[in-house]
Chain A
Amino acid sequence: MIKDQYILGIETSCDETAVAIIKNGREIAANVVASQIESHKRFGGVVPEIASRHHVEQMTIVIEEALNQADLTFAEIDAITVTEGPGLVGALLIGVNAAKALAFAHNIPLVPVHHIAGHIYANRLVTEMKFPLLALVVSGGHTELVYMREHGYFEVIGETRDDAAGEAYDKVARTLNMPYPGGPHIDRLAHEGSPTIDLPRAWLEEGSYDFSFSGLKSAVINTVHNAEQRGETIAPEDLAASFQASVIEVLVKKTERAVDEYGVKQLLVAGGVAANKGLRSALEKTFSEKAEVELVIPPLALCTDNAAMIAAAGSIMFEKGIRAGLSLNANPGLDIEIYND
């Protein structure tokens, strides 16, 4: 009988303190997330120093809860895996140092994981990955198209040159006086309106898989501003619908072109914006016509930041032989391609 593999994952890159345990790379044995969102709401966004303070308060509580949920002890854990980056440095440091203390105390291997690799591997908790594949990563901090020819190998073929899609959502929500975080509000509002306002689509140069959302964001702000000056009112639901239509059209068209060019078997969607209903339905509509490509969108709880995804990615990195020493540091600008070889 082959022994089961248990990986404990820790994620503290932004405003969630999360610990999870994954069995044999794909099965969730425990998944605990302590969200700080209520604390940051009053500031209209995540305050790094406050996020770091909350992580210190929550860290051991969340680890304990995960072990209890899985009914395991450290004697049964094969590796500790932690988000090394990217993210807020002060926040990352809490997870990294807790992970190192655990690895040292129990003499367990320590495996560093890239946050976006984690988001992509959330999909492996839903269905087995089929290579080659393409991952569309959309979150508050990231908008990327990542090509994977095999496990643990990441090639970024396109990324945002300015704002991430989620960032643009939050800023537009602020313009429309909606509370933080604005993404879900815009999504809901967009379904009540129609895309009647002409907003730009940033296709960039021919063949590019990169994204840009700052022009669109400015166009929305200008539209509101100009209307105010003329004493006109714009229906916020129409503006939300128009903005969302622009974001989704660019995301879906570029993704579709990459899927065709790279001839992938799967399209994985990852990151918090994957919860967006407009994006989900547009992707479902486009890819239902392409029988050769399987579209995978994880459930909401696995799209937003969590540690199950980190442990899922960590399981593969552990098998690849990736290890960190006790000098592991938080790396806020970590490159996803660093562990390719």
Chain B
Amino acid sequence: MTILAIDTSNYALGVSLLEENQVLGEYITNLKKNHSVRIMPAIQTLMKDCERVPGDLTKIVVAKGPGSYTGVRIGVTIAKTLAWTLNIPLVGISSLEILASGTGRYFDGYVSPLFDARRGQVYTGLYQFENGQLSVVEQDQLVMAVDWAAKLAEMTKPILFVGNDLPLHQSKLEEIVGTKAFFASITEHNPRPSELALLGRNKDGEDVHTFVPNYIRLAEAEAKWLEAKGKNSNG
């Protein structure tokens, strides 16, 4: 079993190789550089260093969003093409879940991974570890950061926030959630591609042809079109 995991859904770019119960290698950068230029060379370098060839791969696991539309598409396109052409299973994992998995394992409470989504909004969800298994408490969503914080403030358990965009929202979260709010250290904000591989390890493959990113949001033009259509049909 040799799993290749790919994450280009946000600024962090990650690749890992996981075999049985061992992480062979992983590569992460957190740079505002072009994923399209760097991801395939990163995969090639990691596989070469680990002395693995494409034919050795038995599964592809990809971060399916939310995140940058273009970024998610680059990773998903490569993952779909590799899985299809090598005839191996493809598993998609939430980009937020990877972050939660990387930080929450030994935290007694909820984990709220987040990515900034501009205009005061965040992509986030709520996760927790129970008996070593990560479970979803609140589905991934697009929400105003202050509304999300107000909702979490009502909860009884402590909440761990994680993500490279935290500095944009930390003061508001602290103010609203109060002493129940905990913040991950900077070494934990990059989604770990080995966590991505692990999350997909025991999952069944999905249909490769119909696999699509989880954008969460409709394309702007489509949302406007639906809105206009709704208005027309309501008279």
Is the Cβ of A50 less than 8 Å from the Cβ of B73? no
Residue B135 is within 8 A (CB to CB) of chain A in the complex? no
B40 partner, pick from A56, A59, A60, A104, beta carbons under 8 A: A104
Residues of chain B with a CB closer than 8 A to A56's CB: 73, 76-77, 80, 212-213
Is the Cβ of A50 less than 8 Å from the Cβ of B221? yes
Main secondary structure of the interface of B (DSSP, over half): helix
Is the Cβ of A98 less than 8 Å from the Cβ of B212? no
Residues of chain A with a CB closer than 8 A to B84's CB: 60, 63-64
Residue B34 is within 8 A (CB to CB) of chain A in the complex? yes
Is the Cβ of A50 less than 8 Å from the Cβ of B222? yes
Residues of chain B with a CB closer than 8 A to A325's CB: 41
The segment from A41-49, A239-247, A293-301 found at the interface with B is: A41-49
B80 partner, pick from A47, A60, A100, beta carbons under 8 A: A60
Residue A74 is within 8 A (CB to CB) of chain B in the complex? yes
Distance of A318 from chain B, by nearest CB (Å)? 20
Residues of chain A with a CB closer than 8 A to B225's CB: 42-43
Interface residues of A in 34-63 (CB under 8 A from B): 42-43, 47, 49-50, 52-53, 56-57, 59-61, 63
User: CA of A57 to CA of B73 in the docked complex: distance in angstroms?
Assistant: 10
Residue B32 is within 8 A (CB to CB) of chain A in the complex? no
Residue B208 is within 8 A (CB to CB) of chain A in the complex? yes
B81 partner, pick from A42, A43, A53, A101, beta carbons under 8 A: A101
Main secondary structure of the interface of A (DSSP, over half): helix
Q: How many residues on A have C-beta within 8 angstroms of the other chain's C-beta atoms? A: 34
B73 partner, pick from A42, A94, A106, A329, beta carbons under 8 A: A94
Is the Cβ of A60 less than 8 Å from the Cβ of B70? no
Query: A43-B221, A97-B40, A100-B40 known; A60 and B81 CB under 8 Å?
Result: yes
Residues of chain A with a CB closer than 8 A to B215's CB: 53
Distance of B95 from chain A, by nearest CB (Å)? 16
Is the Cβ of B81 less than 8 Å from the Cβ of A98? yes
Interface residues of B in 60-97 (CB under 8 A from A): 69-70, 73-74, 76-78, 80-82, 84-86
Distance of A84 from chain B, by nearest CB (Å)? 11
Q: Mark A87-119, 1 if CB is under 8 A from B, else 0.
A: 000100110111011101111000000000000
User: CA of A93 to CA of B37 in the docked complex: distance in angstroms?
Assistant: 10
Residues of chain B with a CB closer than 8 A to A50's CB: 219, 221-222
B interface, CB within 8 angstroms of A:
34, 36-41, 43-44, 54, 69-70, 73-74, 76-78, 80-82, 84-86, 208-210, 212-213, 215, 219-222, 225
